Structure 1
């Protein structure tokens, strides 16, 4: 059982799987933000969720090995105030009837609790494992400075400049005179038109980007469509880092550059500008010429 929004190292998964019951642990600077462990001889003796006064800095980081023994124990547990069964309560119940071992991470753990952390994960993976396989077509006149991975049946047109760690999926078209730089990943079956600038961004599958768009430090969800002239501003309006609204509170992203977070099937009609840290929900269509200064939550609505 793993948190679906975190990255874990293979060696840590294998380490946890050496035991019938186990969890992945890591020493952190501020354990008050995590479930803190009390351990003895490699076995978990207690687990406390986000204590005010943690007994140690050894924490659980969201990967567990259980079997069906856990399920009857859940029937005896009350639901939390959120109306859910909590993993920490399940571990507490399990350690009363079995030894639950902990594996201290020897690999990596990249949490992706906020959407902009996808950029952190992308940076981590591209810098950790640069890939230079060219399976598609690179036309004459393309400049490559850095590493490029290009999938089957993809093509990069002449005059384009690749600079940084860039990974392009299968069945993609990158038009002529584009500039793609930084740690940038482009998913399968994307169409990037001529004269598009993309910097340090994650572009999901089936995305279409028309000419003269400027995409920086952004996450573009699958099947999004950016018409010509879209610009995602990424430098903070105030301060040194970009903030973004989460559950009605502004959260510091910790990033000096953060563009837009566009969910699946978002459509930006021509000449849209988005402010740094703006998030747009799935299926939103933004009318031409707008400046998007705040998150857009409307579902399937033309925002005018």
Structure 2
């Protein structure tokens, strides 16, 4: 958003659990949090462009009833004195839980064009759009089926299978007889030998022991559930 103080907006089917943005023309009047009867389906997308004046209002912001400093409270004070524009975004994804990152990752990789800057040895198959960063090495016998992105200074293989919609960060090792599918592997992590990682997110600086299997499939065919902030959540 190349403009002055502004907020990214998006339209949703049900705005009751979101911050509904009240506008006058394209000027933001107020953000209303979690209205039982929303004024509209236009909500705060959580994307902001501020100049330094916003910090004056942040300093004046008190803790909310849940004990947090809310940027929306600062914005509501700001809009009483200054103009703030609402900008309707062309694309937006609501990332609430870690597994939502996989949806965003897939959407971004669908638009990616391959770019090979690393070293690819003989007897490697690259199929579809594959990006390999500088200093990375893909060893013999590896099969990479795009869209896939591999960062810088990675060691891939030998004899591994990387399946579509996988993003691998910098300085990672995907080793012998490993398979990675529809996953995000963050920088400085190792999946070194005889591992399977599917539909998963591996954080930075992780190391999987030999033979580790990580997937979202239960033997009883039920949905995977995780614990978060004292609640059991169904990941779908």
TM over 0.5: yes
The answer as to whether partners of 1:153 and 1:172 remain within 8 angstroms in 2 is: yes
Q: Residue 295 of structure 1 aligns with which residue?
A: none
Find out whether 1:182 has 2:202 as its counterpart: no
Contact persistence 1:34–1:61 (CA under 8 A)? no
Structure 2 residue aligned with 1:171: 153
Q: State the Cα distance separating 1:77 from its structure 2 match.
A: 4.1
Structure 1, unmatched stretches of 5+, are 1-12, 255-304
Residue 119 of structure 1 is matched in structure 2 by 102
Please point out which of 59, 65, 83 is paired with 1:81.
Answer: 65
Alignment of 1:98-113 (within 5 A): 98-106=82-90, 108-113=91-96
Which structure 2 residues correspond to residues 18-37 of structure 1 after superposition, within 5 A? Answer: 18-19=3-4, 21-37=5-21
**For residues 170 and 101 of structure 1, what CA distance do their matches in structure 2 show?**
39
- Asked if 1:242 is matched to 2:224, the reply is yes
Correspondence for 2:196: 214
Equivalent residue number for residue 39 of structure 2 = 55
Q: Deviations over 1:197-251 (max 9, x none)?
A: 1111111111122211111111111111112100013124556643322212222
The CA deviation at 1:67 is: 3.3
Could you tell me the TM-score, scaled by structure 1's length? 0.72
The residue that corresponds to 2:137 in the other structure is 155
Contact 2:58 2:71 in 1 (8 A): no
Q: Quote the Cα distance in structure 2 between the aligned partners of 1:143 and 1:160.
A: 6
Preserved CA contact (<8 Å) 1:37 1:45? yes
Give the drift of 1:76. 4.5
CA 209–71 in structure 1, closer or farther in 2 if over 3 Å, else same: closer
Q: TM-score, normalised by structure 2?
A: 0.91
Secondary structure of the residue aligned to 2:28 is strand
Is the CA contact 2:200–2:215 (under 8 Å) kept in the aligned structure 1?
no
User: Is 2:28 the partner of 1:44?
Assistant: yes
5+ residue gaps in structure 2?
Answer: none
For residues 176-202 of structure 1, what are the alpha-carbon distances to aligned partners after superposition, in whole Å with 9 as ceiling and x for unaligned? 211110211111111222111111111
Q: Which residue of 1 aligns with 2:76?
A: 92
What's the C-alpha RMSD, in Å, of the aligned pairs? 1.9
The answer to whether the Cα contact below 8 Å between 2:187 and 2:204 also exists between their aligned partners in 1 is: yes
Distance 1:233 1:136 in 2: 29
Separation in 1 of the partners of 2:230 and 2:172? Answer: 33
